[in-house]
Structure formats: C-alpha cells, structure tokens
Structure 1
Amino acid sequence: MLSRLARPCFQQASTVHKNFLSNAKNWAVRKGQSTIAAEAALKQGASIAAKEGTTATSRVVGWWMAGCAGMCVGAVVLGGVTRLTESGLSMTDWQLLGRPPPSNEEDWLVEFEKYKQSPEFKWKNFDITIEQFKFIWYMEWGHRMWGRTIGAVFFLPAGVMWAKGMFNSAMKKRVGAAGTLLLFQGLLGWYMVKSGLDHNNFLGPSDVPRVSQYRLAAHLSSAVILYSVLFWNAKSILKPALEFDPSKITPQLVKFRKWTMSCKALAFITLVSGAFVAGLDAGLVYNSFPKFADRWIPEDILDHSPVLRNITENPTTVQFNHRVLGTTTLAVLSFTAFQAQRLPLPQRMKTAALLMGCMGWMQVALGVSTLLLYVPVPVAAAHQSGALATLSLAMWLSHETQYLKMAKKLVK
C-alpha cells in the first residue's frame, strides 16, 4: 500500500529545484557572467537538491519522519521531567527490549530492595517510602519505554519503505544516519544512568548521587541532533524551502542567511549548556537576577582548580555561562527577527523569524522565572521544552534560506 501511495504523492520539490536552478542559470547569463559561472551555480543548486533528498521522495516518508521527530520532542520533555523529579536512578538494571512493571506487592518489594543498594538511596533517599519509590520508578520506566516505542515506530516502517524502494539514495543515507543515532541514543542513556549507580563516584564528603553532567549533556545533545535530522528532512519533503528570484537576491539577503545560521548554532549551544545546569543542579545557586546576590560577577566563579574545570564542574560558573549564552542568543534572535521584517523576504520567512524572536523572549522569561522560583518542576519543564521550541523555529528559518547559499556565487 505504501508503494502505491508513493507514486501519486511525489513531492513537488523537484519542480521547485528545477525552476530555481533554471532561473538562476538564465539570470547569470543575462548579467553577462560566463557560462562556467552559471554552470557552477547550477551544480551547487543541484547539490542542495541531492543532499535534501527530496527530488523523488514520497510525502508518506515525510509524514513518517515528522511523526518520529514529534516523538523525539516527547522523549526530551519526558526526560527533562524525569530529571527534575529525580527519578532517573530508580531503575538499577537495563534490558534491551524492556520489561513490564511489577505486577504485585512482592515484585515491588524486590524492586525496592534493588534500589536500596544504590548510592542515591544510601546517601539521599534513605527515608523514601514504597509509594514514593513507585512514582519515581514509573517516571523512569515511562521514559525508557517511550524511547523503545520511538525505536519501533522508526525501524519497522523504515524497513518496509526501504524494501518498497521509497527511499532515494540521498534519503537512504539520512535514514541510516538517523537509525544509527537512535541506537546510540539508547545505549548512551544507560551509560549515563550507570554513572549514578557506581558507589565509587560518590566517595567525597560533599558528593551528591546523580548522573554525570557530561553524560547527561551527551545524552541530551544526541537526542536533539536526532530530532534535528528528522525535522529537517521532514520539512524538506513536506514543505520545501522557498524559491527565490535570483535577480532579486542582494548581498544583504546572503548576509541574512549567515545570521539565521548563527541563531541555530547559538540555540543549540545554549540548550546543551542547560544540560550542565540540570546535571549540577546549578539552578539552585544564586536565585537572583540579574545580579548574583549583590555582585555582577560571583566571587566563587573560579573556585575549582585547574581553572578550566570550572566551566563544566562548578555550579556557579555553569549558571553564569548559561546566563551569558542565553542573553547573547536572545540578542541575536531579536536582531535577526528585526532584520527579517525590514528585508524583502517572503511572508513565510518573516513569520518564522518573528515567531523565533518571540520564542526567544518567552524562553528567557521562563528561565528567569525558573531561577527566581527555585526550580519548580512545571516551570522548569516548560523552560527545557522552550529550548527545543526555540531551536525548532531557528531551524525552520534556516531551512527557508537554504537557496541563498547557492545564490551567494551569483551575487559575487
């Protein structure tokens, strides 16, 4: 059935690519550029089309990838709540295909006894009740099973569509990369949890049982990269980038594309910085804004030695860096959104830029609220989700400007 649906639903992106490339070549020739320059522009545009893999890809594939991307959003949100409720170390074992929850009180007691052997119980939750344990256990179990569900929704249809010939060569590479990322993500999750179950990691007098902030940041980063791959390819199929008239492309528009790329990069880096904040509970130090207590620069910002350790291991420094990154990102997002309204851009692109700028302000407001309110779970979860929403809007805007990359040669 999927193969039958593929034929009538072939993406019109192929026509969009061809029209733009033809217009670009004709414009270059009319402007007196050499045939070699025109052909160079044509080849670069063709390369974009090949990389996007949309020239012969069914919309069924696009919707499948969009669905998987949406499920990745759910996993990131659920993972954030799991971390905020300190539920991540409640399950002390890992099985590839998972297992059902305990079915009776005896099974729950067995599970509780396993947890009692963990550093978290020994040093932190020694007074937890069985009912409280059930809550955190179900949180972690739900997060893990959601991840396995994503695996099933991705790999089973991928196998069918691959066998039916619904992927072109470029899309096969993308699907293969996404599948590899998905498998890696699952293994990395357990590798992260193991860091919080090893008693040797918590021998110091002030050590707090929790997962490694490095592994937490890696786990979140890989999830976001997987989401980004799925999001970008789904959009390329379902809503291709806008076609530009080469004769109307100016150096200002080409420069605008660089700003959109900066927005995307800064949104991602700030998001990863937030993982270190979460991993070190850095949101619970200096709950004031904009100053750190009564200082602009906290006095313990370089307490650790060697100095470089402060960047990823000192909660004060981690929070300071996150504030600076957040403020910088907001400034760049706002400037880019403002520029988009001034430039002769299609309305769809102006809308994406405006939404991105508004989301940036909302995200900062959520971050400040999380800090001032001492990290309440609902507000903190909204802040973590907002980071992904901001990145998504930055990717949307960046995707819409991808043809300006080809036009750069023509402008020169």
Structure 2
Amino acid sequence: MLICKQCFHGLRSTTSKPHRSLYSARGINLKTCLLPPSKTWVASLRRAATVANPVEISAQAQKIVGTWLVGCAGMCFGAVILGGVTRLTESGLSMVDWRLIKDMKPPGSEKEWIEEFERYKQFPEYQQMSNQKEMTLSDFKFIFYMEWGHRMWGRTTGMVFLLPAFYFLRKGWVSKALKPRLAIFAGLLGFQGFLGWYMVKSGLEEKPGPNDVARVSQYRLAAHLGSAFLLYTLFLWQGLSHLLTPIQMPDVKSISKLRGLAHGVMTAVFVTALSVVLIGGFWWMARKAPLHPRARLAVNLLLGMAFGQATLGVTTLLTYVPTPVAAIHQSGSLVLLSFALWVAHELRRLPKV
C-alpha cells in the first residue's frame, strides 16, 4: 500500500478533529489515495524522485575521467624514465637551486649560462669530476637540460592532474568516493616534489671522508622512486576502475586463492625483481582456474613481461650498464608492475548486488 506524503500530512491534521472527514489538505478524499496507484501516478512519482536525487554521472563522463587518470599514470611513467636517464647520465646535481617559478626558464644568454656554470663549480660533484676530466660549458649544458627536463616534466604532471581535476569537480563528474582519493593524489604529488628537492639537497652537501663521492642519499632516492611508483599504481588502478567493465568471477576456491596471490605478486613486483620467480608460480596456478578471457590475457602478458624483464636485466649487466639499455630495463619494471596491477584488478572481489 502506498500513501503519498501530502495525504499523510492531511491525515495527521484531520484525525486530530473527530468531527471532520478524512480529507487531505487539498480536499482529496484519503480513501481515493489508499487505492492501488495508477501507472500515471507511479510515473510522476519516479520523475519527482529523479529530480530530488543527485544527478548520476554518465558513462561518457566516467570514461573521460578514467582516461584522464590513466593519462596521469602515463605522466608518472614518463617521469620515472626521465629520472632514470638523469641518474644514469649523472645530471641530477647540475641544477643547484630549487626555485619553483624561476627554474622553469633555463639560461637564455651565454652570460647566464656562464653564471649558472660558475654556481655549479662551487659544489662537490664538479670538483670531483674535474679531477678526472675537465668539464666544458657544452658538457654542463647537456646535464643541465637533462635535469631541467626532468623537473619540468614533474611540474607538468602536477598541472595535468590539477587543472582537469578542478574542471571535473565543477562539472559534477567526480563521484563521492573519488573526491577524497583526488585529495590524496594531490598530496602525494606535492610530497613527491618535496622528496625531489630533499634528495638533490643530499648530493650537494660536503661529504666527511676525503674519498667520498658526491651522490644523493640512496635512501632518499629510494623514497623518491618509491613514491613515484605508488602514484603510478594509484592512478592506473583508479583509471582502470573507470574504464573497464567489472567482471564477476566464479565464486570458487581457486579464484579466491588467486585473488590473494595477485596482490602478493603486485607487491613483490613493486619491491624486488626476484618476483619473476613468483610470477611463474602464479601463472602455473592460474592455468586451470576458470578465468575470464580478459583476465587470462592479463596473466599471460604478466608472465611474458616477467621473462622480458629478466632478459633485460641480464643484458644490462653483461653490457656494463649502458644508458639506453638500463633506461629500458627501468621502464620495463613499470610495465611489469602495470600487468601485475591489471591482474589484481581483474581478480578483485566485486560487491554482491
């Protein structure tokens, strides 16, 4: 039985006076409203409910937001590659100042380049490198542009995230669950910039020992790289959640076991390259599980990339760590992490409807 809100208020007002009939505030007999509702009345009630409830985010808007989040993950991917090349070419300490706005413009004239070069000469890295080989202004320009490009990429990543985020919030395309996550992403981006400055600062300080080489702290470097991996993982996971149609896996023991192992594999890839071993065992267990074809494709790609990454690692060592091969190997670790994340995303437990 359905009673409209108007009639309910009318009932409350009329029952307090026994001498009056049961009429609503608009003079509608309550008995009429207690009859089974007509189709027209039900349709109008549904329209009113639609207006009263918050507007749902369209599928197209969800796809746009998901593409943006995957794009942010791609920017993090590029930052990791540029950071690796910067480290391999020993360019990370060429910019001795950290100025958010002024750093965006490199030296324009020969005089400005000479002044920047003279500032660099005052720090330990140049003094140690000059003992082996005299650095020219042209050499300095190369390492300066490497570090400058890395910093500008990082700041561009922040803009690629922040500007669309404000736009999507104004458009109402950000769900209630996503809003706090966007705040976390923004905080991590800011923290990543701070870690970059904190890492470079460690390499510009004088070392106590006479034979100590000017290098950034390996702990700060690991924190800087780890936070970049974390940002990439969060962006990619959230993007896949917007772009991929959820798959309901069979509720069987083998799937439950794989679901737990998938997160273990993803964590292992994040932490150590020894996970190529774990991935092989994971793939073997997944062979007989009733996986969806898309999930099985992700598992197979994960195994293939694991072997490719292992091959790249061996090649890097045998060829004495050339910069191009080492950079490809570092990017391969992110590709491997991407496949591990995809597998875990496909195997995630969906809420029961």
TM-score for both structures, normalised by structure 1: 0.69
* 2:126 equivalent among 121, 124, 149: 121
Q: How does 1:162-173 map to 2 (within 5 A)?
A: 162-173=169-180
Pairwise CA distance, 1:332: 1.0
CA contact (8 A) 1:92 1:114 kept: yes
Letter of the 1:338 partner, please give it: W
Matched, 1:75 2:79: yes
- Counterpart of 1:105 (choices 101, 104, 110) is 110
CA contact (8 A) 1:337 1:350 kept: no
CA offsets 1:243-286 (integer angstroms, 9 cap, x no match): 22xxx42111101112211110100011xxxxxxxxxxxxxxxx
Cα distance, 1:369 vs. partner? 1.2
SS class of match (1:113): helix
CA deviation string 1:196-218 (max 9, x = no partner): 0011xx12133111100000000
The aligned counterpart of 1:380 is 326
Question: In the alignment, residue 95 of structure 2 is paired with which amino acid?
Answer: M
Cα deviations by residue, 1:61-93 (Å, 9 ceiling, x for unpaired): 111111111111000000000000000000000
Aligned-partner Cα distance in 2 for 1:227–1:243 = 26
Q: Which runs of 5+ in 1 are unaligned?
A: 1-6, 13-56, 271-325, 408-412
Structure 1 segment 126-137 matched on structure 2, within 5 A = 126=131, 127-137=134-144
State the alpha-carbon separation in 1 of the partners of residues 58 and 173 from structure 2: 10
> Does structure 1 residue 89 correspond to structure 2 residue 96?
no
1:149 aligns with 2:156: yes
Q: What secondary structure does 1:241 align onto? A: coil
Q: Which residue does 1:255 correspond to in 2?
A: 257
5 Å matches for 1:236-275? 236-244=241-249, 248-270=250-272
| RMSD of aligned Cα (Å) | 1.7
Do the aligned residues in 1 keep the contact of 2:316 with 2:325 (CA within 8 Å)? yes
Residue identity matched to 2:252: T
Q: Report how far residue 11 of structure 1 moved.
A: 3.5
Check whether the contact 1:241–1:401 (CA below 8 A) recurs between aligned residues: no
In the alignment, the residues of structure 1 paired with residue 191 and residue 263 of structure 2 have an alpha-carbon distance, to the nearest angstrom, of: 26
Partners of 1:117 and 1:355 lie apart in 2 by 49
Aligned residue in 1 for 2:298: 352
Q: Hey, what's the Cα distance between the residues in 1 that align with 2:299 and 2:138?
A: 47
**Deviation at 1:183?**
0.7
Alignment map for 1:271-290 (pairs within 5 Å): none
Aligned length: 295
TM-score normalized with structure 2 length: 0.80
Match of 2:62 among 39, 44, 58: 58
Paired residues of 2:73 and 2:236 also in contact (CA < 8 A): yes
Is 1:392 aligned to residue 342 of structure 2?
Answer: no
Distance 1:369 1:120 in 2: 29
Partner in structure 1 of residue 187 of structure 2 = 180
Counterpart residue type for residue 171 of structure 2: K
Look up the SS of the partner of 2:150 in the other structure.
helix
The residue correspondences of 1:307-322 to structure 2 (distance < 5 A) are: none
Structure 2: how far apart are the matches of 1:403 and 1:67?
A: 26
- Aligned partner (choices 223, 226, 231) of residue 236 of structure 2: 231
Q: Which runs of 5+ in 2 are unaligned?
A: 1-54
Q: Write the distance in 1 (CA, Å) between the matches of 2:56 and 2:219.
A: 47
